A and B are shown apart, each in its own frame.
Chain A
Amino acid sequence: MYQSLAWATSLVVMAVVAIVFLYFVASSRTRADDGAHTASARWRSGIFWGLSIAFVPLIGYSLVDMPYPLPGNASANPIVVQAVGRQWSWTLSQDHFPAGRTIEFHVTADDVNHGFGIYDDHLRLVTQTQAMPGYTNILRHTFATPGTYRVLCLEYCGLAHYAMMTQFTVEAASVAQSPEVRHD
């Protein structure tokens, strides 16, 4: 999951940076002659260009996975849900979905900017988009796991921003298709 990847990567790289600093601080206590210091200045450009080049492949790879509604990630038969934010509540056109189907949230706002953040029942952020007055952002997501999901507001919108929540249910595909439950 991306959160764990981000945390682990950050810790490792930051630790490396810290170790490099500690090494150089330790080396700073003795003074070399000027010739040695001039030599140390020569590798500055090399390190600079090395660091720069190392970033290039990372940039390309990181653009592979994008959440935007592009033709490549469209579903043939999505469930379309209208999601509207206003100070300080959410309105969803339906709140029961089957797992395994692509849900296409059409997200907008009536008044000010809000953030449409979907949390799973372990309070882990699953996906999000902004809810903006005058614009409709299309957020596609396929819920693999049944459960109760919460929508939290992720853009500051005034006094009760922290309390602007709603929830919906994702049911196992077989349950969702039974006649007792709501269909899209």
Chain B
Amino acid sequence: MTDTTTVARATPEVRLYAALTGIVLLLLMLFGVLMRLAQSEWMTIGPDRFYQLMTAHGIGMVAIATLGGSAVLWHFLGQHVALRRGAAIANLAFFLAGVAVVLWSIFAGGFAGAWTFLYPLPAHPMGMWTRGAAAGYLVGVLLVGVGMLVFFLETTRAILQRYGSFAVALGWKMLRSGDKRDAPPPAVLAGTVVSIANLLAVFAGAAILTMMLINLYLPQFAISALLAKNLIYFFGHVAINATIYMAVIAVYEILPRYTGHPWGVYRAFVLAWNATLLMVLVVYPHHLLMDFAMPLWAVIMGQVVSYTSSLPVLAVTLVGTLANIHRSGIRWDLTSGLLVLSIFGWSAGIVPAVIDGTIAINQVMHNTLWVPGHFHFYLLIGCVAMILAFINWLSHEQAPARFGVLQGGLFWLYALSALGFVLMFLYSGHASVPRRFAVHLPEWQGYDRIASGFALLVLAAATLIVLPAVLRIAGGRGSGARAAGT
């Protein structure tokens, strides 16, 4: 069970990860707002610039959610295993180098192949970008991937050194013995699952990035478009889901400090995380339901696993969160509020995602705004809320007072505007509005304008949450070294 009274001081690299995540999140949110304003025709942005922003927003959010989740993982995993700081620093160095190259390729080289860089689009720019820009983007993403490789090899090494085997770290010993003393802490269990999954994702991502780099300069080295899609969506699906699986450790570790009730690790919890490891690796074909060339068994597996994969970890986390706060006398502040909100966002956001994973429905929903609707739901109100909670928690030396008018107002501004924003995506998807259209038909602009209003409010709320917290962290205040709520 998680100790609810003590936690070590946050290390400089965790503070740096957290501060950087906060600032970059705001910048990428601004890119998103600009796109919605352009679709509303409240702002004029050419299609070339729109698609550059779209590419930067997409790849940037995946990368920064990974960095933010890594901060949470590193901080809490580091309470249980001996992590070597050099790996975190190397990861950050590769991350920054990769981001610099990606930004150059997009905003100087004009690359706008979307974050998914679907083969062979990078090699078919139609005058929009140069071959060098396309290569720069692929190399930049590869550099970020190398950083992830170093980072997750280190978490894996440290876990194996402390626990001896994956079987122990994954809780199999506890499943056999039934003895809760054999249960790994939640941060170790989740950290093991994420490390294994992300290492496999990085290998797949590196393979397709390298193949596409060769293809750029040797076009006769052709790749199957379907194979490329499989590799890209495997890599992308695992990487983005892993961000939630890392960030949710903040719920397991911080929420109990507010309620005074330890987070229980019981048999279903361990089973759920193990099931998730398996399912997150095989569910990605649900992104390919409209690729009729896929084998039938693969798309059926994609649907079935997309129903079941959403359940285990989410269900144990949802039920665990509700049980943890129930009649707990919890101290409500911005951190605890965002943590509970994040589990609501994850739980509710999964609903339209699972519905979209149904083959018959996917046929009239795939690549409409329903898709960004569901992933913004569980990322903006789920994953980002977890990361914001962690940043805010990290920035306070002492547990802040209960919700004041300002903090309460800020919390509800973020929660309600984010909810309005994602519901407008979903409503637009229900009305068949396609995603990734730089210019919208007049019939769709009413939805865009309502969504733009919500988007501006989300950005304002996030700014008011992030900036003070980052300033506190940058000023050397805050440490996470206290038992909040006690």
Chain A interface (Cβ within 8 Å of chain B)?
A: 1-7, 9-10, 13-14, 17-18, 20-21, 24-25, 27-32, 36-37, 40-41, 43-45, 47-49, 51-52, 55, 58-59, 62-70, 87, 111-113, 115, 117, 119, 123-130, 132-139, 152-163
* Pairs A-B, 5 closest by C-beta atoms: A31-B329, A32-B327, A137-B292, A162-B437, A125-B432
In the assembled complex, how far is the CB of residue B7 from the closest CB belonging to chain A, in whole angstroms? 22
Are A2 and B365 in touch, CB under 8 angstroms?
yes
In the assembled complex, how far is the CB of residue B246 from the closest CB belonging to chain A, in whole angstroms? 22
Are B364 and A126 in touch, CB under 8 angstroms?
yes
Are A135 and B307 in touch, CB under 8 angstroms?
no
Given A44-B320, A68-B296, A138-B292, verify A27-B370 contact (CB < 8 Å).
no
Chain B interface (Cβ within 8 Å of chain A)?
A: 47-48, 51, 112-114, 116, 118, 120-121, 124-126, 128, 224-226, 229, 259, 261, 264, 266-268, 272, 290-293, 296, 299-300, 303-304, 307-308, 311-312, 315-316, 319-320, 322-323, 325-330, 340, 343-344, 347-348, 351-352, 355-356, 358-361, 363-368, 370, 426-427, 429-432, 434, 436-441, 443
Are B307 and A55 in touch, CB under 8 angstroms?
yes
Partner of B361 from the list A5, A24, A156, A161 (CB cut-off 8 Å) is: A5
- A24 to B440: give the CA distance in the assembly, Å: 41
- Look across to chain A and name the residue whose beta carbon is closest to the beta carbon of B351: A13
Are A162 and B47 in touch, CB under 8 angstroms?
yes
Are B118 and A159 in touch, CB under 8 angstroms?
no
A159: B residues at CB distance < 8 A: 47-48, 51, 112, 126, 128
15 interchain pairs (CB within 8 A)? A3-B365, A13-B351, A27-B326, A36-B327, A40-B326, A43-B323, A47-B319, A62-B307, A65-B360, A111-B124, A123-B431, A125-B365, A125-B368, A155-B118, A158-B124
- Sample of 18 more A-B contacts, CB < 8 Å, known A24-B325, A117-B434, A158-B126: A6-B430, A30-B329, A44-B319, A44-B323, A45-B268, A48-B316, A51-B315, A52-B311, A63-B359, A67-B292, A68-B296, A128-B366, A128-B367, A129-B290, A135-B226, A156-B436, A159-B48, A160-B47
- Look across to chain A and name the residue whose beta carbon is closest to the beta carbon of B439: A162
A32: B residues at CB distance < 8 A: 327-328
Given A128-B364, A158-B126, A162-B439, verify A7-B292 contact (CB < 8 Å).
no
A44: B residues at CB distance < 8 A: 264, 266, 268, 316, 319-320, 323
B344: A residues at CB distance < 8 A: 17-18, 21
- A134 to B119: give the CA distance in the assembly, Å: 12
Are A48 and B360 in touch, CB under 8 angstroms?
no
Are A24 and B430 in touch, CB under 8 angstroms?
no
- A151 to B375: give the CA distance in the assembly, Å: 26
A31: B residues at CB distance < 8 A: 327-329
Q: Which of B126, B322, B352 has the most C-beta atoms of chain A within 10 angstroms of its own C-beta? A: B322
B312: A residues at CB distance < 8 A: 52
Are B352 and A6 in touch, CB under 8 angstroms?
yes
Are B348 and A154 in touch, CB under 8 angstroms?
no
Are B327 and A132 in touch, CB under 8 angstroms?
no
B329: A residues at CB distance < 8 A: 28-31
A65: B residues at CB distance < 8 A: 359-360
Are A62 and B364 in touch, CB under 8 angstroms?
no
A133: B residues at CB distance < 8 A: 120, 225
Partner of B326 from the list A2, A24, A136, A158 (CB cut-off 8 Å) is: A24
A45: B residues at CB distance < 8 A: 266-268
Are A127 and B364 in touch, CB under 8 angstroms?
yes
- A87 to B291: give the CA distance in the assembly, Å: 19
